[in-house]
Chain A
Amino acid sequence: MAIYSFWIFDRHCNCIFDREWTIPADSSSGITNSKQNEDTAKLIYGMIFSLQSMSRRMSSKSNTVRTIATGKYRIHLLSTITGLSFVLFSDLKQQDLSQLLQYIYSEIYVKYVARNMLSPIDYAENDSEKRGQGFRKINNRNFIKAVQDVLGPMVNQ
């Protein structure tokens, strides 16, 4: 199993965290919260948003998309009822990483972001930064390190 990248989107449709690994042999390679990834993030969110609303229309409202597979990679998705989306790109070998995403949410995000009272919880400071127009990221060292510790070993497996 290999992991390619990890993204978090908030309820304002903004990408608030991204981590992309570029060299499989080196788990610390790649970029974190990069400006270069802005457009990619918008594309990813657009794809998820459309599939999400499509799947809702075809069944009940609480239905959510969990994985999306293409010919080359698989996307794993965790959407919380507070509007966060955790998105993980992996190779096709891995069927379901929802447990891992739930772990990242409850043990890393909640621990280092939600319980960190002095860091913001809402990454849009005013209306012009909502609806996917924001640029603020989770720049919390503990959080970035914990994500790297959990996902790093899986980059090349």
Chain B
Amino acid sequence: MNTASSSSNAAQSSASTASNPSKSLKTFGENIWKTKTAKVNAELFTLTYGSIVSQLTNDYQRDYAKINNQLYAMGISIGTRLIEDFVARTALPRCENMVQTSEVISKVAFVVFLNINPQVTNWSNNKDAFSLILDENPLSDFVELPIDAMKDLWYSNILCGVLKGALEMVQLDCKVWFVSDILRGDPHTELRVKLNRVLKDEIPAGED
């Protein structure tokens, strides 16, 4: 969610990098973060997000279910736009399966936008659902939830919305939700992504 603009040159085509195994995907992501991403102060970002959540808490009179939904909806509208930024910057080809998708998300997308590298674990048997473990989460630095929020608020729920919106734009209809959060006293912050179905590309009327 670092919205600062990339440097002036057009993104170099990187199809060759992308077809290499996952190890180079990591260096690829780090390179984009280093060379094509303008940096902003992380604390400014953390505090901006904090003030959004606290404003929502006031507006919805501490109805945390509504706040979660609102953050999720905001995330979706960010994600549908952010994906264009991401695709333009990386020029990666479409992923063929969820394993590839998970690697691009953890090794490129999170690195490029937040400079964090979540772990991918807990694969479901048919490889359509996985978890991202966010050991460091810049959204929730400095944050301590009040007692009444601990049970119901998913503080970083905007991330779920962003992933949902972005994946939908590349024809992956997914369900994205938080399983646990350090802020709520859990040992990890775990975000779960589950593929519902792969959407079909539209074809012009009369072509079917």
Contacts and interface: CB of A to CB of B under 8 A. Distances in A.
Interface of A: 11-13, 42, 45-46, 49, 61-62, 80-84, 98-100, 102-103, 105-107, 109-111, 113-115, 117, 121-122, 130-133
A19 B47 CA distance: 43
Interface of B: 3, 5-6, 8, 10-11, 13, 77, 80-81, 83-85, 87-89, 91-94, 96, 169-171, 201-205, 207
A106 B10 contact: yes
Given A62-B94, A111-B5, A122-B80, A99 B10 contact: yes
A106 B205 contact: no
A64 to B, nearest CB: 9
Given A98-B13, A102-B91, A131-B202, A109 B84 contact: yes
A49 B10 contact: no
A144 B93 CA distance: 28
Given A62-B94, A106-B89, A122-B80, A132 B204 contact: yes
Contacts, number: 79
A11 B85 contact: no
B166 to A, nearest CB: 9
Contact of A11 (B3, B77, B202, B205): B202
Contacts of A106: 6, 10-11, 88-89
Contacts of A12: 202
Contact of B203 (A80, A84, A131, A133): A131
Contact of B204 (A13, A82, A113): A13
B202 A13 contact: yes
B80 A130 contact: no
A102 B205 CA distance: 29
